[in-house]
Amino acid sequence: MSTQSDHEAVWGEGVIYFIYSFDAARPIDIHKAADRILKSGIAETVVSPRDGEVRVAHRYRRLVRLLNHSNALHQLSEALRENRLLRWMARHPIWTVRMLRWLLFRRHSSSSNSSSGDSNPSVAETLAESISFIERSVAEYQSINAIQHHIEKDLLRIPYLVSEPYVRLRLRSAGQWLHLLNGGQARSPGNMDEGTRVDVLLLIHRSGVMQLTVALRMPDDITVDQYREMSFGSSEVVVASRVAEPVLAAAYGRRYEPYLEGDWEEESEEGVRWRLVQHGTPVSISDLFDLYHQAITNVIKSKTTGDWFCYPAAFIDRVGCCNSEESFRSHHDRELKNAISRSIDVGEVRPEAVQSMIPEDCSLTRATSLYCNMSSSLEVRWPGPNGGEFAQHLQRLVIFESALLQYRQIRLLDRRVGVADGSIRQVREIQREAIFGLREYRDSAISHGTAMDLADRLLRDWRADRLYGHVLESVDQLQQLVAAAESEKSAKRANVLAGIALIVAIFLGLPAIDDTLNIANRVTATGFLGVLLKPFQALASHGENGTWAGYLIFLAAVLSCLFVLIFGRYRLNFWRRRKNPGISWPLGTVRIERRDDNQGADPDSSE
């Protein structure tokens, strides 16, 4: 039972992961797509679940050369200091040639060994620091993909990972300035303090399904109501953005600069320019997704369906107002339920309906509470000795991503079946896609029971079983369509053979016509039979000319019959133009656009 609280519920620290699921409308080559994204400069690293090697973008080749040069120079400095120059020369023949002038100069130099020994340690230390800086910087970029793969090995089945169904990429990050500062204060115009770096992750599945995850760190010490305002992908809470040039170039094309808002920053970072935009009106995280989505679609040269789904997963790493779970639930039960439901104030809902709205806590440990429904998830870490960790977030995200992949594949198959044009080639492609997609849905990739239960719960909320049954029924209908098409093809083949036989019979029928006319000329008949014989006898009286005329008449009759049959079966309807009902109004049409005057606020909340 909740008691009246003398303070507002506050989230101390937290991160919201907006998982956007979309697709390329058809299966894609994941390696080719990932390579194009890396070459474009949008992505930093890529990892395959098969071996876990985190590979870097092609532009890192210059950094690799710099690292090799630094290592060689560092080893040279050590060799000079320890009198191992010949060994170094044997290991580095190319560098030996490059340093020949320097070595010759050093050989003829009159400087003492002590003076060179004094300078070598400083050179060696400088080079060692440079090498360490390069290694730390690259390792930092690789760390997220490495953690993801480590978690996947524990949660997902090994045969599934070995089959390499997808690849993961870490894209260039972006900068976001939210409308709130730490403490929940509103940001004043022009205030550019406390900007947050947004990590952007991408998963590309072989079915064509892709997932782009935007990790947004919330301001510290905000109220639950303020959290609800920013918990939607469409929440307009971003007042300024900072985006790398490769992302903008890929999204808008070559001549993109005149159409961009904002200004370029004076100094480059990570080897590229960055564009800083202060928005006149706040924008949403979904606007950032649209930018990356357009860039990815253009780079991999895929079609965009415009169909995407956002699943926010929020992790509250520190509660900022109460010292225990019991205290928070006692004072802020309503606020907690509002945070779970997000869009609806439970105070305005019938008591008997609240239970069906709020999912049960599916966390196994007392340190956290996890609430998942079909539209979002919320994990709260209660006050205790241990805080939230990024790796723990990724562990939950892998489960959510797996469930979303299963659901999105079934949904993609259902849409593909619905737009099939009936061609045999397309039907066979869909059947092949269905074999792998349905198998991945039936045989869950998750190996742990508790994680599998969580994924199954989400799939039930999304009614994936009903969609799965519809896809199965549609695939069976496609199989019948293929069988009917094969039968039609066999019938056409038989008709072609019969037509060929008829043509051969026509060209070989001249002697038979001559024999027919000779027989008709010798027959004497009266009455009805005599009437039928008169045309044949008339042709026979003209000898060979009559035979030829009879052959032409027979040929014309056969061709006329064929023409009537073919024309009746495949007659063209191009003269029957499809006409739209009514007429067009010369002043145009009326189009309705719905706008929310209280956008960003809870429509069901009371003042």
**Tokens 């066999």 correspond to what residue?**
490
Domain positions in the chain: 10-49+156-388, 61-143, 403-485, 509-569
Question: Residue 389: what pLDDT?
Answer: 78
Residues 483, 485, 486, 491: what is their CA dihedral angle, to the nearest 10 degrees? 130
The one-letter amino acid code at 531 reads V
> Per residue in 251-291, pLDDT tens?
988 777 777 888 999 998 888 999 999 999 999 999 999 99
Q: What is the DSSP letter of 343?
A: S
Residue 352's pLDDT band (boundaries 50, 70, 90)? confident
Return the pLDDT at 597: 43
Is residue 411 within 8 Å of 467, Cβ to Cβ?
Answer: yes
Q: Any idea what DSSP says for residue 446?
A: B
For tokens 């199954």, what's the residue? 456
Residue located via tokens 């026509």: 506
pLDDT range class, residue 199, cuts 50, 70, 90: very high
The 10s digit of each residue's pLDDT in 543-587 is 777 777 777 777 787 777 777 766 655 555 444 556 678 777 777
Q: What percent of the chain has pLDDT over 90?
A: 41
Q: What is the DSSP string of 60-114?
A: GHHHHHHHHHHHHHHHHHHHHHHT-HHHHHHH-HHHHHHTHHHHHHHHT----HH
Residue 305 confidence (pLDDT): 75
Higher pLDDT, 79 or 224: 224
pLDDT band at 332 (very low <50, low <70, confident <90, very high): very high
Alpha-carbon gap, residue 392 to 385, rounded angstroms:
16
385-436, pLDDT tens digit by residue?
776 678 889 999 999 999 999 999 888 888 877 766 666 677 777 777 777 7
With a cut of 80, say whether residue 502 has pLDDT above it.
no
The Cα–Cα gap between 93 and 73 comes to 13
pLDDT of the residue at 360: 92
Rounded CA separation 356/478 (Å): 39
Residue 592 has pLDDT above 80, yes or no: no
DSSP label at 58? Answer: G
**What is the secondary structure of 93-107 as a DSSP string?**
HHHHHHTHHHHHHHH
pLDDT digits (tens, 9 = 90+) for 52-73: 999 998 888 877 777 777 777 6
Region of residue 117 (phi > 0: left; psi between -120 and 50: alpha; otherwise: beta): alpha
Give pairs for 304-307: CB < 8 Å, separation 24+.
304/22, 304/25, 305/22, 305/23, 305/25, 305/415, 307/22, 307/23, 307/415
Question: How many Å apart are CA 174 and CA 454, to the nearest integer?
Answer: 31
HEC-encoded secondary structure of 147-214: HHHHHHHHHECHHHHHCCCEEEEEEEEEEEEECECCCCCECCCCCCCCCEEEEEEEEEECCCEEEEEE
Structure confidence by residue, pLDDT tens digits, 441-487: 777 888 887 889 999 999 999 988 888 888 888 777 777 777 777 78
304 or 375, which is more confident? Answer: 375
Mean pLDDT of the region 96-103 = 63
Give me the count of residues in the chain: 607
Q: Which strand (E) or helix (H) includes residue 504?
A: helix 464-507
In 3D, which of 209, 251, 206, 216 has the Cα closest to residue 37? 251
Cβ contact 404:21 at 8 Å: yes
Please determine, for residue 1, whether its predicted confidence score (pLDDT) is greater than 60. no
Question: Is pLDDT larger for residue 536 or for residue 334?
Answer: 334
Sign of CA dihedral 61, 62, 64, 68: positive
Q: How many Cβ atoms from other residues are within 10 Å of residue 545's Cβ?
A: 10
Tell me which amino acid residue 110 is: S
pTM equals 0.77
Residue 600 CB contacts under 8 Å (≥ 6 apart), including other chains: 229, 235, 236, 237, 282
**What is the three-class DSSP state of 7?**
coil
Q: At residue 10, does pLDDT exceed 80?
A: yes
Would you state the pLDDT for residue 104?
61
Tokens 């990892």 map to which residue? 47
Q: Which two tokens stand for residue 379?
A: 């994990």
DSSP state string for 262-284: SEE-SS-BTTB-EEEEEEEEEEE
Pairing of strands 377-381, 309-319: parallel
Nearest to 455 by CA among 157, 47, 14: 157
**180: its two tokens:** 């709130």
Average pLDDT, the chain: 81
If residue 489 lies in a helix (H) or strand (E), which one and from where to where?
helix 464-507
Q: Cα separation of 389 and 367, whole Å? A: 13
| Sign of the dihedral defined by the CA atoms of residues 93, 98, 99, 102, in that order | positive
